[in-house]
């Protein structure tokens, strides 16, 4: 408890004193028209290390292998090992606390240009994902909620895959996802990532995927956040509910 309290102080101090207003302004502009931006500057190394240590420990304790495809995203492949929100909250301490930390919400809101809220649907608050077998990937999809903050813990060099691609300005029609149509309709951006990076994405209007990993290993924690309009909207949660309900290795 004391340790996590000290961590909170460091986070607050960093956000109050070490983040340059110019960094926020530039990132906010990029985010507004590209639908994604690196925000690695918003968290001090001490917090990145504490989150990485917890991700590594939880993957050792509780990772579950999943190989799935969903009609709602044109059967794009998901091949990965996950630790769910419930397991993270039960077995961990740091991630649970960082997720709702005021300095994090303040930074995210500044970059997004609108209030960013914790996700009202618990299973989508945070999830750990490890890509480690040849061909592991998080295929093309949108997320239900407006924002995702992804912390990169481990990532292979781009030669071996594991980078992110995205198409901002696209929307998810769950009955007719038409992913290929979205891919040819607008530019695809590719983002090289390194351990210690964080990025924010507007995931409900930015089609995105992780390019299959062929060597090495990629570990991330994805924290999902809601916009103000998400809080008053009715959602269906098909893909996430199926992801967590299906037995490991099951096919949908
Ligand atoms: O691994 C990533 O960088 C993205 C993860 C993602 O899109 C998700 O968990 O919904
Ligand atoms: Fe996503």
| Centroid of ligand 2 to alpha carbon of 142 (angstroms) | 6
**Distance (Å, whole) CA 138 – CA 56:** 19
Q: Is the CB of 143 under 6 A from ligand 1?
A: yes
Give the closest residue to 93 by CA, choosing from 220, 8, 198, 219. 8
Residues 150, 55 contacting (CB under 8 angstroms): no
Ligand 1 within 6 A of 78 CB?
no
In terms of phi and psi (left: phi > 0; alpha: psi -120 to 50; beta: otherwise), the region of 190 is: beta
Q: Whose CA is nearest to atom 9 of ligand 1?
A: 222
Which CATH code, of 1.10.10.10, 1.10.287.610, 3.30.420.40, 2.60.120.620, is assigned to 2-244?
2.60.120.620
249 pLDDT higher than 90: no
Q: Where are the domains of the chain?
A: 2-244
Which ligand lies nearest to the CA atom of residue 240 in the structure?
Answer: 1
Q: Which residues pair with 117 in a beta bridge?
A: 226
Tens of pLDDT, residues 15-62? 999 999 999 999 999 999 999 999 999 999 999 999 999 999 999 999
N-term to C-term CA, the chain: 41
CB of 197 sitting under 6 A from ligand 1? no
pLDDT in tens, 217-241: 999 999 999 999 999 887 777 666 7
- Which token pair is 19? 């983040």
Indicate whether residue 210 lines ligand 1 (CB < 6 A). yes
- pTM: predicted TM-score of the whole model, two decimal places: 0.94
SS3 80: strand
Q: Taking the CB of residue 66, how many other CB atoms lie within 10 A of it?
A: 18
H or E element, residue 137: strand 136-141
Residues around the ion ligand 2 (C-beta < 5 A): 143
How many whole angstroms separate alpha carbon 60 and alpha carbon 72? 31
Residue 80 to residue 140: CA distance in whole angstroms: 14
């Amino acid at each position: 408890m004391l340790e996590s309290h000290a961590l909170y102080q460091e986070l607050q101090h960093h956000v109050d004193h070490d983040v340059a207003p110019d960094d926020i302004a530039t990132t906010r502009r990029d985010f507004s028209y590209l639908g994604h931006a690196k925000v690695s500057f918003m968290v001090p190394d001490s917090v990145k290390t504490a989150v990485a240590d917890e991700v590594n420990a939880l993957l050792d304790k509780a990772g579950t292998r999943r190989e799935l495809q969903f009609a709602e995203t044109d059967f794009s492949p998901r091949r990965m090992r996950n630790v769910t929100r419930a397991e993270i909250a039960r077995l961990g301490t740091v991630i649970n606390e960082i997720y709702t930390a005021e300095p994090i919400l303040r930074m995210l809101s500044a970059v997004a240009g609108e209030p960013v809220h914790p996700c009202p649907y618990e299973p989508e608050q945070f999830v750990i994902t490890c890509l480690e077998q040849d061909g592991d990937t998080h295929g093309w999809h949108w997320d239900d909620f407006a924002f995702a903050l992804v912390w990169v813990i481990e990532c292979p060099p781009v030669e071996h895959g594991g980078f992110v691609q995205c198409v901002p300005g696209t929307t998810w029609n769950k009955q007719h996802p038409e992913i290929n149509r979205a891919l040819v309709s607008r530019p695809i951006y590719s983002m090289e990532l390194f351990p210690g990076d964080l990025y924010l994405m507007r995931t409900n209007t930015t089609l995105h995927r992780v390019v299959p990993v062929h060597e090495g290993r990629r570990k991330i924690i994805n924290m999902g956040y809601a916009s103000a309009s998400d809080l008053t909207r009715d959602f269906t949660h098909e893909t996430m509910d199926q992801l967590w309900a299906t037995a490991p290795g099951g096919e949908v």
